[in-house]
Structure 1
């Protein structure tokens, strides 16, 4: 099975152009399924049927895995078997009629405008790393890009004169996102004053680097935003997507249309963007309940 998994992952990378994070996720899920089959002394071709796959999904559930995790595993397995049938490695698809469990849509956690402003005040811009952190936080809130897109930015992807950045989202899809004047100023200050003190070579293409001069990682950014949230006395749970969620919600609250927000976020389907309209409705209800004398 290992060789077929590697072949499938290579197909997803070359033919489908999926992002590295997605490829790693598919590979991890399929190898976990492979381990389950091996522990059960089952062959993935001879013994793989609907009941076997359901047994695997039930084992994930018994381990307390989230519905989203189980759904993602099933999606990987279904895609894998579809590929095997298409390539004539197997005759029948054992996962063909299996449906993903229904996901409970959770409203994203966002920061208030005051909390965002407090967070953005925290970096010490007298230090190169502070200039970097300030630029990253301002850029995230100004554009709503994903953290993976942020750390993948190269210097050549930023056009400060025209006020936009070029980033590559899921499936390596390129999009142009406008950049506000405050964020542009912070990025400019980092490039001219902070970055030269962090990079080890002028050939380094990465926009944001760590203290070793290498491209900053997702884990590195995670530690940075958690630190500043603590310093800003923000008690809400912060995730790498918090500023992205806040960006979208604040735009909609201030009159931006849904299609424009969808375009800026890089959502393929507008139904994904519509979750933020539920957030704004909830917040309007909170404002009403607090402000109206007969609420």
Structure 2
């Protein structure tokens, strides 16, 4: 049962949510065909909103016109009582705002009742990264010459070289790679496309994989990364393979794609202190997201500031003698 769902109690009959179900499907179709949002985004909205509709049925709400500010607040409060964290509640509210905004613009809903409902503020959590002395031995292998190992090595190197999200890596097609493998074109959140540089080690790993890829993939398969059956690799397979290699190579940390992305951003920002450049590479729409995402040691930033800012350098006071 979804987060907001509550079982029926007593003899209170649940409302018929057929109308709400139809309205939701219209919204999902609009996101898919008109907005052309990613399947992952649409699936996430579906999960959140189906949970809300289930709750509407149990609280005897059967139409959009019956959903008001108090109903949305009650649903958010229900999620809180069930122990959902602030980020999860905000995600559900974001899905509701998006659906009701569409309903106001396209379906004649009077207003958006979720606009004024706020989730509790989440505690700021810094992302977990891998230290360089942890990560470099892992990247350097050893890796076998099999198609599976060479594919996995190329994926790991590309995650760390270019800061890709998991969906971005899985979605790569052969035309997205430049002829010299020095650049890769990815489509990120909001269908935003960006061109990313590929480091020397990642280029070499990609080249090794592409030389073996035809053993698994047919000439008609566009995906860069495929499984043994020749189809585009799946999310769970990538996660399983990273975990497998982390154990095999003795990496003393839980490894997943986003941790490699975190490490990419952190290490790059520590060296460059160029927040705007890291923002562009990560594909973040807002700079604030990058600031949270990249876990930078304040002492490191303070050191860069003292060295670089023309008004930051302090003049030492003379130790003895009167001023000239």
TM-score normalised by structure 1 residue count: 0.89
Q: Deviations over 1:255-287 (max 9, x none)?
A: 2511111111111111111125543337889xx
Distance in 1 of aligned mates of 2:235 and 2:138 = 19
Indicate how the Cα distance of structure 1 residues 105 and 123 shifts in structure 2: closer, same or farther if over 3 A, else same.
farther
Structure 1: stretches of 5+ with no match in the other structure? 286-295
Distance in 1 of aligned mates of 2:222 and 2:138 = 28
Q: Which residue of 2 aligns with 1:15?
A: 34
Q: Which residue of 1 aligns with 2:247?
A: 230
Which structure carries more helix by proportion?
A: 1
Structure 2: stretches of 5+ with no match in the other structure? 1-19, 303-324
Q: Which residue of 2 aligns with 1:189?
A: 208
Q: Rg: which structure is higher?
A: 2
Name the structure, 1 or 2, with higher relative contact order (CA <8 Å, separation 6+): 1
Q: Which residue of 2 aligns with 1:265?
A: 282
Distance in 1 of aligned mates of 2:288 and 2:142 = 35
SS in 1 for 2:257: coil
Q: Which residue of 2 aligns with 1:25?
A: 44
Indicate how the Cα distance of structure 1 residues 283 and 109 shifts in structure 2: closer, same or farther if over 3 A, else same.
farther
SS in 2 for 1:279: coil
Distance in 2 of aligned mates of 1:184 and 1:230 = 25
Distance in 1 of aligned mates of 2:130 and 2:263 = 6
Distance in 2 of aligned mates of 1:256 and 1:143 = 17
Q: Deviations over 1:72-94 (max 9, x none)?
A: 00111112112212224322332
Distance in 2 of aligned mates of 1:65 and 1:208 = 36
Aligned CA-pair RMSD:
2.0
Q: Which residue of 1 aligns with 2:114?
A: 95
Shift of 1:146: 0.6
TM-score normalised by structure 2 residue count: 0.82
Q: Which residue of 1 aligns with 2:310?
A: none
Q: Is contact 1:122-1:231 (8 Å) kept?
A: no
